[in-house]
Amino acid sequence: MVKKIAYGTVIGLVLIAAVLVFFYRTIHGEEWALEAAAKQTVTETTYMKTVDRVESFVGEKPYIIVFGQDPDGNKAIAWVNDGNAHMQYASTGVSEDDVRGVVEQANPDNEVLRIVPGVLNDNYVWEALYKRKEEDDRIRYYYGYYRFDNGAEIDTWRMTKR
């Protein structure tokens, strides 16, 4: 009887694990397909030949941001939307670390959560998500937008306090 319970428990756990894996893959499948298509678009239509990482940006339009290198090892970033890719070498703009420094220098209480390239009003930008504790001890989140080419601040969006 103990063996039947043990076998039944093991079979039940395996089935639960299989269902969870299927559910996880179903939820993320579309996103993974978009990322794979973006990688293929970038490597086929630009000078970028290796992909280091992929990020998502959702603004006026959704973009897949592809970070990689050309055959000579020069770092590049590509913005992909609807099968079209725009690539720029990382050296033609400010870096993620530069943007982080600007955000932290603006107010030492700013805690940067995420920085990702994006597009705002047809400008290639860095989007910085950060938070700061306000005077009333509540947390406020901000989205700061900085030009990719020179790091100039374009706009800052304040979210409601928590």
Asked whether the beta carbons of 128 and 144 are under 8 A apart, the reply is: yes
> Is 2-91's fold the same as 96-161's?
yes
What fold characterizes domain 96-161? Nuclear Transport Factor 2; Chain: A, (3.10.450)
Give pLDDT tens digits for 112-133.
999 999 999 999 999 999 999 9
Asked whether the beta carbons of 92 and 149 are under 8 A apart, the reply is: yes
Residue ranges per domain, the chain?
2-91, 96-161
Give pLDDT tens digits for 84-114.
999 999 999 999 999 999 999 999 999 999 9
CATH class of 2-91: alpha beta
Place of tokens 């005077």: 135
Place of tokens 């910085």: 128
Window from 27-36, 66-75, 115-124 with minimum mean pLDDT? 27-36
